[in-house]
Structure 1
Amino acid sequence: MNLSMILASFGGGVLGAYMGGLPAFILCGIVGLAGFAVQGDMNILGDVAFGFFLGPHIAFGGGGVAGAAFAKSIGCTQEGTDILTPLAKYNKPSIYLVGGVAGVLACLAHYLYSQVLNLPIDQVALSVITIGVLVRFTIGKTGLTGSCPIDGKSSRAFFPLKESIPSLCLVGLGLGLVSSYYAVEYDAVALGFCISAASLAFTQMGFPLPSTHHITLCSAYAAAATGNLLIGAIFGAIAALMGDFCEKTFNSYCDSHIDPPATTISVLSLIIFTLLS
């Protein structure tokens, strides 16, 4: 860790706040795919996609998430969970400053997890969660699991609804199988993740396309660790169900964003890297 890395992560956080969390994450996927297309692997473009420029922990989790929560706290928006809107819309230097500082904190968290502690976990995803939780308790006011209004008309759901479980499992198995295939046959563990991230461009356009990068990445991790596509597919289904649970638990009735896919990736990667690798 040096001063240049600190300064670069500040810039990445400002970028994430300026363009918005989801647009920055979409670019992460596109640049990652470009790395596969041009070089056959991530290589230098991977360092851009997952590093200081567009790293999910810095641009998305740092600039995008922290910037959106701060924008709500100063009255610019009603939704601190809005990671789609470019925060350049509000033309507030303070939002960019908060995004930059959060980008630095995300970089420091990643350095701690990867270089100091060397944790057997997806360290980028864990850094995204770290910043999300930090933002929730410093800028947000709704607590870790959100503040659900009690009106006597509805009860809060935490687990996937019965009618959605078959669909979640089938999507998890299907995406898990194809992502696992490329992880095993081509050692392209991050390929499915990048495709899933890039596909969120349709979400940005307003189409109801849920995130799937937790499914494709966790299944690829499991398949790469075992060489078995079916095990990868099983983890894909588990990731789909866990992602829904995390969404309902940590990202509902709240005023900031704690990322459900990153939470899922952190938990399952710890299991995979500890028990299967």
Structure 2
Amino acid sequence: MYDVILQVPIIDMPWEDFILLAITALAGGAFGAALGALPAFIFTGFVVFLGEGLAILERSVGGALGAVNPTDVATGVTGVIGFGAITGPHIAFAGGVAASAYAGKKYPEMEPDGWDYHFGKNILYAFGTKPDILAVGAIFGLLGMLITQLGNALVVVSGTAATDFIAFSVFATAFIARAVFGYPIVGRPSGSSLLDMSPFEREEPRAQADGGEVPTEHKGRLATEPWLPHQYKWSGVTVIGLVGGILGGYIYIQTGSIFLGYAISAISLLFLNLGVEKIPVTHHITLIGAVGAVVFLPEAGAVAALLAAGVFGAVSGLLGELTQRLFYSHSGTHVDPPAMAIAIAMFVVVVLSLVGVIPNAGYL
């Protein structure tokens, strides 16, 4: 399954193929800015769902497809499109996130009514055809592709996986966007620490804008802005982590697909984008839950693997909450907690597999 994420590393890629990929990544990043980061990621879910469905079908019919080798079509849909230059999160979503960060500084008047946070965090907003915003998305789509490809090249050179470089690229480009467009990398907490969400609960306003004077359009902002107002309490995050992890693990046990649960979670965000309240964000939970099943199924059996999936999902959910408190809540742009959770979780999985604590490194 690692080849689905790795695709063809840059060191083994002909220059013509690299130029093809770079041009497409520019278009993919602009596509993410045009649609908005979250709508673009929802498309990721649909495409990966299709690819994984094809993979399950191909495994079922085997050689009956004649000249088509089993998994070739599915790998193309999941890897080349879903996690590739068209809807790959490191390209389309990253382009949309950077576009929002840029617009938050350049076009605060575009902010829609009812948006309570800094406009730079609005990843639901579709920027349509505004050329400069699409150009920002294109540049960051290309940057996301390059970071991912360079990370994967290091894997090939070293012979050892390090983490999920798509996830790493998603939050790396978001931090770069903060630096480029003049936002604090972390931001100053209004409570007792970076982890303190009580200013949000008390609805305390921001005393000053990010890093300077208070522009009129920034007055009245909340002092602390949690990533998900309905999903930030430790107890609730733990519970949804257990639930989502078990579901992701069960999907893997029954279908052999690591990414199908991730795709379903991503598709569920369509309802969040449409304004349905309290839809949980779970793609980092179902993915890492599936990894827990991958790790434990061969040696421990289905029941133990399912329980391990729940634990892995809960840990990933808590990592997402920890990183949102550290890196999302106190600055003015979106830095993706699920991407950070996936990258950290997969790094730990790789390390544990290298030292022999667990038998494999999941999809890496």
Q: Assess same fold via TM > 0.5.
A: yes
Amino acid of the residue matched to residue 177 of structure 1?
I
Cα distance, 1:49 vs structure 2: 0.9
The corresponding residue for 1:45 is 77
Residue 170 (1) aligns with residue 170 (2): no
Alpha-carbon offset, residue 274 of structure 1: 2.4
Of 15, 18, 29, 2:45 maps to 29
For 1:86, which of 97, 109, 126 is the aligned residue? 126
Question: Who is 1:12 aligned against?
Answer: 28
1:107 aligns with 2:176: no
* Aligned mates of 2:89, 2:145 — CA distance in 1: 10
How big is the shift at 1:8? Answer: 0.7
Q: Give the whole-Å Cα distance in 2 for the aligned partners of 1:35 and 1:117.
A: 25
- Please give the secondary structure, in 1, of the residue aligned with 2:124: coil
Task: Report if aligned partners of 2:155, 2:162 keep a CA contact under 8 Å in 1.
Answer: no
- Taking the aligned partners of 1:210 and 1:146, their CA distance within structure 2 comes to 25
Partners of 2:146 and 2:194 in 1: how far apart?
A: 35
Match of 1:179 in 2: 248
Identify the residue that residue 260 of structure 1 maps to in structure 2: 337
Matches within 5 A, 1:226-241: 226-227=296-297, 228-241=305-318
Residues 96-245 of structure 1: matches in 2 within 5 Å? Answer: 96-118=134-156, 119-143=161-185, 145-148=186-189, 150=190, 155=192, 158=195, 164-207=233-276, 208-227=278-297, 228-245=305-322
Cα-to-partner distance string for 1:69-122 (whole Å, 9 max, x where unaligned): 11112124451111001011xx42111111101111111001011123444211
Which moved further from structure 2: 172-181 or 196-205?
A: 172-181
Moved more, 206-215 or 96-105: 206-215
Q: Deviations over 1:53-77 (max 9, x none)?
A: 000000001x111111111121244
Find the aligned partners of 2:309 and 2:326 in 1 and give their Cα distance.
25
Check the 8 A contact 1:222/1:272 in 2, yes or no.
no
**Secondary structure, aligned partner of 2:281:** coil
Give the Cα separation in 2 of the matches to 1:250 and 1:210: 20
For 1:271, the equivalent position in structure 2 comes to: 348
2 CA distance for matches of 1:274 and 1:67?
A: 35
- Asked whether the 8 Å contact 1:24–1:54 carries over to 2, the reply is yes
Separation in 2, partners of 1:257, 1:166: 24
Identical pairs, percent: 32
Per the TM alignment, residue 39 of structure 1 is displaced from its structure 2 partner at its CA by 4.4
Q: What residue identity is the alignment partner of 1:259?
A: D
Task: Give the counterpart letter for 2:121 in structure 1.
Answer: T
Select the structure of larger CA radius of gyration. 2
Secondary structure of 2:310 counterpart: helix
What is the aligned length? 268
User: Does the CA-based 8 Å contact 1:14-1:97 persist in structure 2?
Assistant: yes
RMSD, aligned CA: 2.0
Indicate how the Cα distance of structure 1 residues 201 and 265 shifts in structure 2: closer, same or farther if over 3 A, else same. Answer: same
What's the secondary structure of 2:257's corresponding residue? coil
TM-score scaled by length of structure 1: 0.90
AA aligned to 2:188 is: S
SS at match of 1:200: helix
Aligned-partner residue type, residue 290 of structure 2? A
- What is the deviation of 1:187? 1.8
CA contact (8 A) 2:52 2:259 kept: no
Distance 1:160 1:141, change over 3 A: closer
- Cα deviation digits, residues 26-57 of structure 1 (max 9, x gap): 01001111223344274222121110100000
Contact 1:160–1:244 under 8 Å retained in 2:
no
Whichever residue aligns with residue 87 of structure 2, its letter is L
d(CA) in 2 for partners of 1:160, 1:222: 30
Q: Cα offset for 1:156?
A: 5.4
Counterpart contact for 1:159–1:244, Cα < 8 Å: no
Q: Distance in 1 between matches of 2:296 and 2:351?
A: 12
Uncovered stretches (5+) of structure 1, i.e. residues with no partner: none
